[in-house]
């Protein structure tokens, strides 16, 4: 299941790159999140129940709205806009820095999950990797890279807010509310900037792939993994997405990456391993196997 999730999310960067060739980022978001919301709306009654879905949505509407903006509406646009200027593989590498921002924000404002010691060192290592990647971009691509970094920052905040204020809300309800509200936020702009012609089949197929498997089903798979295998195991997807996305970009889009991209990837993943306690967790597993 972990490999399936990484394959789906890794492909999302490829599909975004294809779709933004013909669609404005806002139009892409409306199509993608609209399909995801419809899919989750069909699944939620069976998974949670219609009354329970409505109750949880009504009782937590304020924080659901905040999370929808910070964790979906804003970062989805930043990623889509960023990919109008940088390669899909590079975007996936920068996206891997989400746990780094998560640890940094937690250190500043979320005392209950604050990182210290080696984990804080990991934050620094990861930021060196992000800085290397952004600094290595030509002048015309720097803003695109920074947009994806902004997306990672938003995801860091969104994850922490969800963990603090929406712990009692079913994940599928959070997903349904987030995709629905974000669709409504971008709907006026997406409609206004829609192309005056019918997009090609590659574009339409990319939007469908992003909306249903890439957002709705991947979301359900992600939380199923957390429930079954645990958050520590599921977090390993962070390491798998960039190599898969790089492979997709190289095979299907002809993207090429130099030493700066590979060096930045190595530093970011090393920072994630230290910053999230991945190195310590692996040592503990080895020790437990030896007992």
SS3 per-residue string spanning 163-228:
HHHCCCCCHHHHHHHHHHHHHHHHHHHHHHCCCCCCCCHHHHHHHHHHHHHHHHHHHHHHHHHHHH
The pLDDT > 70 percentage for the chain reads 85
The region of weakest confidence among 56-65, 126-135, 184-193, 238-247 is 126-135
Predicted pLDDT at 235: 62
Over residues 209-231, mean pLDDT: 81
Residue 277 reports pLDDT greater than 70: no
171 close to 231: Cβ distance less than 8 angstroms: no
155 close to 101: Cβ distance less than 8 angstroms: yes
94 close to 246: Cβ distance less than 8 angstroms: no
Q: Which residues contact 153 (CB under 8 A, 6 or more apart)?
A: 101, 105
Residue 279 reports pLDDT greater than 80: no
Q: Which residues contact 122 (CB under 8 A, 6 or more apart)?
A: 100, 103, 115, 270, 271, 272, 273, 274, 275, 276
Residue, of 40 and 289, whose pLDDT is higher: 40
Residue 283 reports pLDDT greater than 50: no
User: Using one digit for the tens of pLDDT, what is the confidence trace for 84-140?
Assistant: 999 998 898 888 888 778 777 877 777 666 666 666 677 677 767 777 777 767 767
Residue 180 reports pLDDT greater than 90: yes
Predicted pLDDT at 112: 61
Question: Residue 57: pLDDT band by 50, 70, 90 thresholds?
Answer: very high
Residue 37 reports pLDDT greater than 90: yes
Residue 281 reports pLDDT greater than 80: no
Over residues 257-267, mean pLDDT: 77
Which of the 8 DSSP states describes residue 113?
G
Predicted pLDDT at 285: 39
Average pLDDT value over all residues in the chain: 84
């Amino acid at each position: 299941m972990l490999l399936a999730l990484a394959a789906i999310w890794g492909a999302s960067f490829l599909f975004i790159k294809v779709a933004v060739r013909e669609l404005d980022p806002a139009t892409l978001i409306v199509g993608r999140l609209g399909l995801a919301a419809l899919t989750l709306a069909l699944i939620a009654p069976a998974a949670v129940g219609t009354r329970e879905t409505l109750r949880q949505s009504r009782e937590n509407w304020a924080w659901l709205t905040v999370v929808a903006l910070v964790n979906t509406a804003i970062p989805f646009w930043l990623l889509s806009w960023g990919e109008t200027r940088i390669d899909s593989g590079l975007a996936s590498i920068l996206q891997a820095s989400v746990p780094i921002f998560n640890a940094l924000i937690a250190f500043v404002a979320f005392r209950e999950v604050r990182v210290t010691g080696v984990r804080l060192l990991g934050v620094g290592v990861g930021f060196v990797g992000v800085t290397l990647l952004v600094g290595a971009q030509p002048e015309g691509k720097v803003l695109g890279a920074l947009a994806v970094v902004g997306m990672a920052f938003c995801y860091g905040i969104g994850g922490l807010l969800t963990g603090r204020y929406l712990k009692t809300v079913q994940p599928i309800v959070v997903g349904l509310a987030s995709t629905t509200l974000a669709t409504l936020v971008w709907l006026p702009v997406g409609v206004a900037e829609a192309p005056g012609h019918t997009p090609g089949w590659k574009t339409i197929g990319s939007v469908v792939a992003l909306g249903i498997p890439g957002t709705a089903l991947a979301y359900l798979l992600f939380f199923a993994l957390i429930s079954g295998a645990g958050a520590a195991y599921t977090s390993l997807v962070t390491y798998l997405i960039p190599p898969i996305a790089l492979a997709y970009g190289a095979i299907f889009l002809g993207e090429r990456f130099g030493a700066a991209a590979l060096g930045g990837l190595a530093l970011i993943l090393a920072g994630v391993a230290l910053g999230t306690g991945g190195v310590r967790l692996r040592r503990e597993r080895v020790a437990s196997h030896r007992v």
